[in-house]
């Protein structure tokens, strides 16, 4: 994977440009990192390992269950690009943004069509990845969405709290 360093991108609401966020020095693990990779099967475990290694290297205090869910989400989102967008998007990008209390992962491709979460069909052997992403995100107390890019592609993002949601 090609590490392009820090990059711009959407952030969880309430963190960018607020007086509180500007008044406090960032914690040592806060930052934004962006990786690119070819839209091929081998990029799925590479992306997952790159995200895991980055979080460990930066010392991000992410709860283990949140981390495991996040890594599964990365695998699902990169797999979707490989399976459904590779023809129009031979390269994908993974961005990791870490704040004081949250982590945001986005996967970007150049395919113009917005993915849809398919209804659960127990007879199908696939097609439930986005449903899984949505469920993991909601269970952790996070948010997810799909946005179009200026270049005509899309970015699918997930923001999760570093600590699990309390019910």
* pLDDT tens, residue by residue, 54-83: 999 999 999 999 999 999 999 999 999 999
* Phi, psi (deg, nearest 5) at residue 92: -120, 160
* pLDDT tens, residue by residue, 48-59: 999 999 999 999
Report the half-sphere exposure of 136 (CA within 13 A, side-chain side): 23
Q: Among 10-24, 56-70, 112-126, 135-149, where is mean pLDDT lowest?
A: 10-24
Whole-angstrom CA distances from 3 to 40, 41, 79, 88, 156 are 17, 19, 19, 22, 19
């Amino acid at each position: 994977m090609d590490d392009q360093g820090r990059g711009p991108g959407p952030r969880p609401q309430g963190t960018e440009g607020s007086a509180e966020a500007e008044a406090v020095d960032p914690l040592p693990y806060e930052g934004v990192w962006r990786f690119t990779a070819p839209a091929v099967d081998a990029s799925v475990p590479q992306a997952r390992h790159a995200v895991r290694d980055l979080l460990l290297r930066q010392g991000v205090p992410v709860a283990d269950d949140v981390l495991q869910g996040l890594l599964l989400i990365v695998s699902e989102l990169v797999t979707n690009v490989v399976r459904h967008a590779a023809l129009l998007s031979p390269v994908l990008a993974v961005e990791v943004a870490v704040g004081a209390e949250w982590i945001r992962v986005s996967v970007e491709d150049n395919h113009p069509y917005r993915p849809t979460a398919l209804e659960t069909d127990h007879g199908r052997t696939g097609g439930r990845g986005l449903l899984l992403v949505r469920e993991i995100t909601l269970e952790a107390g996070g948010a997810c969405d799909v946005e179009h890019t200026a270049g005509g592609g899309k970015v699918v993002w997930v923001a999760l709290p570093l600590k699990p949601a309390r019910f």
